[in-house]
Amino acid sequence: MSLVNIVYTNGTKYYKVYWVSQSNDGDIYHGLAWKGQQDFHYSYHKSGKIHLKQGKKTLPMYELIPISKIKDIHNFFNINIGDIEWAGKYYKPFTSKKQKNVVWVDTRLFPNDIQIQVELYLVKPECISGLSNQQFRKKCKDDYRLIQIVQDINPWLIVHIRNLKYLDVKSQS
C-alpha cells in the first residue's frame, strides 16, 4: 500500500491535513486528518464507484470514470484549507519521521494562506505532457501555484496547490 501525506506548515508548525493511499489492488482511499474524529474517508474504487465511510457506516455516493480508463488528467477531489492557526485547531499534528511521499503546503510561499486550495488529480505517466496544458494555468497565476507529482500512486497522483486569492480571472473568460 502506498501512502501520501499532505502537510500544512509555516516552518514551525506542521499539520497533516489530508492523506491519500492506494491499496495493492488499485483502489484509492483519501480523507481529512481531523483531530479526535473516528475514521472518515472516501474511497475511489477501480470500478469508478465512490463511497464515503465514517466509522463502520459506508455511504455509496456516485460513480466516476473507472481508474483503468483514465486517459488524461482526471480531477477527483478538492479541499480548501484555512490559515495555519485554524488548521492547528482541527487537524492532527504531523510528527512522522518518514519524509517519503509528503507533499508540503508551505504557507510562506503564499502571500495569503487563508485561501489555499489543494486539488487532487490522477494522470497516466504517458499523459504527463498534459501538465503543460492550459488546464492548470487557467486556475491560477503561475506565481501562486505549485504542482507536485507522486509516482507511488498508479496512475500518478498530481497535487495542485493554489492560492484562490490570486486567480487569473482574465484567462478563465
Give the H or E element holding residue 29: strand 28-32
- Tens digit of each residue's pLDDT (9 = 90 or more) over 60-83: 778 889 999 988 888 888 888 877
Query: Average pLDDT, stretch 86-107?
Result: 84
Q: What is the pLDDT of residue 169?
A: 45
> For the chain, what is the mean pLDDT?
80
Query: Which three-class secondary structure state does DSSP give residue 55?
Result: coil
Number of H helices, E strands in the chain: 3, 12
- Tens digit of each residue's pLDDT (9 = 90 or more) over 110-131: 766 567 788 898 988 888 776 6
> Is residue 143 packed enough to be buried (19+ CB in 10 Å), middle (13-18) or exposed (0-12)?
exposed
